[in-house]
């Protein structure tokens, strides 16, 4: 069953003056330069409306064949957070003690991360992001395309939206993350992509002293 191509006029594109474009791009850059990954959270609750609107924004992401291969589980229940923390710390302990090669630990040294993940319980919201490797329609498996790219772009929009709305985030990637399917009761066509920790920073939150590569280092003109 193929859906026919039925184009409609583009009505939402906003053409701006060049000066306005430059001003907006620079203001956006400044805003994004203020984003920091936060590992110390206040337990203060955050508005549901903010989370919902940002997830709806994430759901606008360009994606393979518009199949929208993502699912977001919003976790607020302290008991579920505790289960996730326990499972994540178990994997992380094995990672830091046994599985991580020395060069990986060396690359992480400047971030000060370790196997302890108190933020999983402290932060008011966790968003577990799942990538649908395939969809299920009736009894049939339907293939999805560019799943990693699609979910990665959606996640970027989500992180940007939450930052823009005044919340801090942490992209947590306990590895492997299969425990999220069990705890959150998600089907096996969904693979855990990332656990996004969301909330307000603790009043005394500290962040690593790191910098971003300058423009000249991340670009080439041809
Ligand atoms: N998943 C581990 C290790 C870790 C890996 C990378 I790459 C980071 O940028 C940060 C942490 C952890 O969450 O501690």
For the Cβ of 133 lying below 6 angstroms from any atom of ligand 1, the answer is: no
pLDDT band at 36 (very low <50, low <70, confident <90, very high): very high
Q: Does the pLDDT at position 115 exceed 90?
A: yes
Residue spans per domain, the chain? 44-202
DSSP H or E run through 155: helix 147-164
The answer on pLDDT for 1 being more than 70 is no
> Strand 140-143 relative to strand 190-199: parallel, antiparallel, unpaired?
unpaired
User: In sequence order, what are the beta bridge partners of 72?
Assistant: 129
Confidence band of 216 (pLDDT split at 50, 70, 90): very high
Mean of all residue pLDDT scores within the chain: 97
Residue 43 has pLDDT above 80, yes or no: yes
pTM of the predicted structure, to 2 decimals: 0.97
What CA–CA distance (Å, rounded) separates 122 from 157?
Answer: 24
- Look-up: residue for tokens 């977001």? 72
60 lines ligand 1 (CB under 6 A): no
CATH of domain 44-202: 3.40.109.10
Band (pLDDT 50/70/90 cuts) for residue 2 is confident
The secondary structure of residue 64, as a DSSP letter, is G
Whether 39 lines ligand 1, by a CB cut-off of 6 Å, is no
Q: Is the CB of 171 under 6 A from ligand 1?
A: no
CA of 36 from ligand 1 middle (Å) equals 15
Mean pLDDT to the nearest integer, 28-33: 98
């Amino acid at each position: 069953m193929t859906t026919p191509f039925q184009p409609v006029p583009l009505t939402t594109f906003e053409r701006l003056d060049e000066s306005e474009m430059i001003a907006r791009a620079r203001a956006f850059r400044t805003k994004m330069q203020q984003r920091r990954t936060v590992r110390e959270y206040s337990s203060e609750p955050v508005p549901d409306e903010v989370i919902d609107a940002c997830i709806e924004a994430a759901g606008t992401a360009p994606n393979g064949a518009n199949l929208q291969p993502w699912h977001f589980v919003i976790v607020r229940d302290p008991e579920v957070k505790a289960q996730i923390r326990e499972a994540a710390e178990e994997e992380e302990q094995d990672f830091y003690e046994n599985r991580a090669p020395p060069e990986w630990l060396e690359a992480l040294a400047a971030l000060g991360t370790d196997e302890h993940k108190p933020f999983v319980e402290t932060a008011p919201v966790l968003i577990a992001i799942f990538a649908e490797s395939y969809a299920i329609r009736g009894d049939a498996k339907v293939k999805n395309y560019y799943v990693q790219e699609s979910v990665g772009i959606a996640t970027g929009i989500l992180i940007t939206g939450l930052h823009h709305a005044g919340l801090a985030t942490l992209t947590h990637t306990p590895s492997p993350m299969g425990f999220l399917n069990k705890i959150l009761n998600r089907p096996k066509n969904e693979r855990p992509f990332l656990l996004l920790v969301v909330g307000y920073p603790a009043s005394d939150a500290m962040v690593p002293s790191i910098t971003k590569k300058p423009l000249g280092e991340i670009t080439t003109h041809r």
